[in-house]
Chain A
Amino acid sequence: MSNANQRFLMGVFEREEDVLAATNEARLRGLEIADVYTPYAIHGLDAAMGLRPSRLPWVCFALGLAGASFKVWFEFWTSASDWAINVGGKPWNSLPAFVPVTFEVMVLFAAVSTVAAFLVGRGLLPGKRPKLASPGVTDNQFALVIEETNAAFDIDEVSEMLREFGVTHIEERVD
């Protein structure tokens, strides 16, 4: 919702199946779906909205790999190079002993960076003011928000479509 004075049409639904079907129909009619707000993740909604696959897995993969590589190097450097310690007569660069810590650090880097990338990517930073499409979307309601792209946008027609899927409340918003 970046454009100033952009108009939106919001339909609020009571049932998961309804919002899923309405979203699918909106996409098929070529409407611009601004977003869908739901209290929990709905299976199949990303496909219904026509979303691109998330890029977060790449962050996860790259940072996991980076964390693992860094940790192998670090363990090698500490126990075999900078301050070599003889542990039970094992070779200094004992790879099997490095594996558990490498694994843990890989998971730590991958997990923390994925969450951080999500928060930064969505702008969910400290000081962010909450902005709810409808108060019910954190509780028991589902809101489908459609962008009114141009003057040809027919509110009556779209409202009629939303009613077919059992919409309980329709509202026009300006952002």
Chain B
Amino acid sequence: MTPQHEALNPSTRTYAVFKWLSVAGAAVFGLGLMIAPQRALSSLLLVSVGLLGMGLGAALFIAFQYVCGAHWAVAIRRVPEAMCGIIPWAAIGILFTLIVGKSLYPWTANHPTGMKGIILNYPLVLIRAVVFLSVWLVLIRAIVRKSRLQDTTGDASLSVSNTRLSAMFLVAFGLTFWMASFDWVMSLEPEWYSTMYGVYHFAGLFLGALAAMTILAVWLQKTGPLRDVLTAEHLHDMGKMLFGFSTFWMYIWFSEYMLIWYADFPEETGHFIRRHTAGWGPLFIANMVVTWLLPFFILLPKRVKRDPSMLVKVSAMILFGRWLDLYLLIYPASVGHESVTFGVIELGMAVAAPGLFMLVFIRSFRASAPVPLADPLLEASLNHHQ
């Protein structure tokens, strides 16, 4: 059974909204760079890391499915595939921040000694960024390209070679991502370190990507391309993933917090003290409430996990939590922890990021059939049962 698929044709008004959000974001960033460069660059880092997380999380989702030989999400795989399109844009943002926003990183002026000095070495950090981003991009593009190629050739062996590429990507990601999160975000506070940091960033990015995927899949079902494809069974699984990874995020958050709280070393506790004093406290608590506490209790019943409108609401809340989480990681370190800084620059860029993301997503999604037509597992996925 292959249902008839409508192409994704968002109304010109929807499209215009995304376009204007992106343009407004770029304008806010340009003005911000002149008035308050520290804030503009911190915001750029925030949205770049956030958007990169959407793309990488989507790629991880695809890779997990291939490696496990899972069939349930094959019918909605074009959603994460199109999400990967944002990675080059996010990569530009990150490289821009590292080069133009060099002053965000205290270690570039005050060079550390010893092992830390070897790792936090400016040319080396730039080289690492280019290498990491290129490796991810090359592998992810190859996976997406082969998946789309299968639509026309119908060659089942493309699934096998994508499984191999997925395994390679997972290993490459595991070896590089923690270091990237150290280089780009943790080193904003070079005196502080945590070995849990990379895992924490992974937990956040995967949860955020799942939430975005859920919203996009429901939107595509409502607007046409995934009508008769996305069922309550798929949503139920997405709901379980959201529930699981929301809890995983909290688990990792607490694992980091508790060890630092228990050991009580001044150079370690500073990170948390800066994030729950001087007005940051309510945000510090809100982060846990919207990313875990509320999603946990809301997603407990089976009924909610199968209800598209509830899932979209919970996902939107998690995405807000994702922004708040990155805001709390970056701003107290790079802009200042003495007071909470939030204004037009932060708001403008926070709402522009989804606009840009949607423009790229729509273009990328329209570049192929809305479902992987010739994937050997498509039939099983369309008839997926709990």
Residue of A nearest to B263 (CB): A88
- How big is chain B's contact interface, by range? 10 to 19
Complex: A22 Cα to B261 Cα, angstroms = 59
- Does A99 lie within 8 Å of B258, measured CB to CB? yes
Complex: A164 Cα to B258 Cα, angstroms = 62
- Does A61 lie within 8 Å of B257, measured CB to CB? no
- Does A96 lie within 8 Å of B262, measured CB to CB? yes
Indicate which residue in A43, A44, A61, A88 contacts B264 across the interface (CB closer than 8 Å): A88
A96 in contact with B302 given A43-B386, A44-B385, A44-B386 (CB within 8 Å): no
- Does B261 lie within 8 Å of A96, measured CB to CB? yes
A130 interface contact, C-beta 8 A:
no
Indicate which residue in A43, A44, A96 contacts B258 across the interface (CB closer than 8 Å): A96
Contacts of A53 in B (CB 8 A): 302
B254 interface contact, C-beta 8 A:
yes
Cβ contacts B355-386/A at 8 Å (1 or 0 each) = 00000000000000000000000000000011
Those of B214-270 within 8 Å (CB) of chain A: 254, 257-258, 261-262, 264
A97 interface contact, C-beta 8 A:
yes
Contacts of A135 in B (CB 8 A): none
Complex: A61 Cα to B258 Cα, angstroms = 26
B interface: dominant SS: helix
Complex: A99 Cα to B288 Cα, angstroms = 15
A100 interface contact, C-beta 8 A:
yes
Complex: A43 Cα to B384 Cα, angstroms = 9
Residue of A nearest to B264 (CB): A88
Contacts of A96 in B (CB 8 A): 254, 257-258, 261-262
Cβ contacts A2-13/B at 8 Å (1 or 0 each) = 000000000000
A61 in contact with B385 given A96-B258, A97-B262, A99-B258 (CB within 8 Å): no
- Does A99 lie within 8 Å of B300, measured CB to CB? no
- Does A43 lie within 8 Å of B385, measured CB to CB? yes
Residue of A nearest to B383 (CB): A44
B299 to chain A, nearest CB (A): 13
Complex: A99 Cα to B256 Cα, angstroms = 13
Complex: A37 Cα to B258 Cα, angstroms = 48
- Does B300 lie within 8 Å of A61, measured CB to CB? yes
Complex: A100 Cα to B385 Cα, angstroms = 35
Residue among A43, A57, A61, A96 facing the most chain B CB atoms (10 A cut-off): A96
Contacts of B257 in A (CB 8 A): 96
Contacts of A61 in B (CB 8 A): 300
Complex: A100 Cα to B261 Cα, angstroms = 13
Contacts of A100 in B (CB 8 A): 258
Those of A72-105 within 8 Å (CB) of chain B: 88, 96-97, 99-100
A98 to chain B, nearest CB (A): 10
B48 to chain A, nearest CB (A): 33
B307 to chain A, nearest CB (A): 15
B253 to chain A, nearest CB (A): 11
Complex: A124 Cα to B258 Cα, angstroms = 42
Contacts of A97 in B (CB 8 A): 258, 262
Contacts of A44 in B (CB 8 A): 385-386
- Does B254 lie within 8 Å of A99, measured CB to CB? yes
B112 to chain A, nearest CB (A): 29
Contacts of B302 in A (CB 8 A): 53, 57
Those of A36-69 within 8 Å (CB) of chain B: 43-44, 53, 57, 61
Residue of A nearest to B303 (CB): A53
Complex: A97 Cα to B385 Cα, angstroms = 42
Cβ contacts B285-323/A at 8 Å (1 or 0 each) = 000000000000000101000000000000000000000
Contacts of B264 in A (CB 8 A): 88
Complex: A152 Cα to B374 Cα, angstroms = 50
What are 19 sample pairs from A and B whose C-beta atoms fall under 8 A apart?
A43-B385, A43-B386, A44-B385, A44-B386, A53-B302, A57-B302, A61-B300, A88-B262, A88-B264, A96-B254, A96-B257, A96-B258, A96-B261, A96-B262, A97-B258, A97-B262, A99-B254, A99-B258, A100-B258
- Contacts A96-B254, A96-B261 aside, 14 further interface pairs with beta carbons under 8 A come to A43-B385, A43-B386, A44-B385, A44-B386, A53-B302, A57-B302, A88-B262, A88-B264, A96-B257, A96-B258, A96-B262, A97-B262, A99-B258, A100-B258
Using a CB–CB distance below 8 Å, which chain A residues touch chain B?
A: 43-44, 53, 57, 61, 88, 96-97, 99-100
Using a CB–CB distance below 8 Å, which chain B residues touch chain A?
A: 254, 257-258, 261-262, 264, 300, 302, 385-386
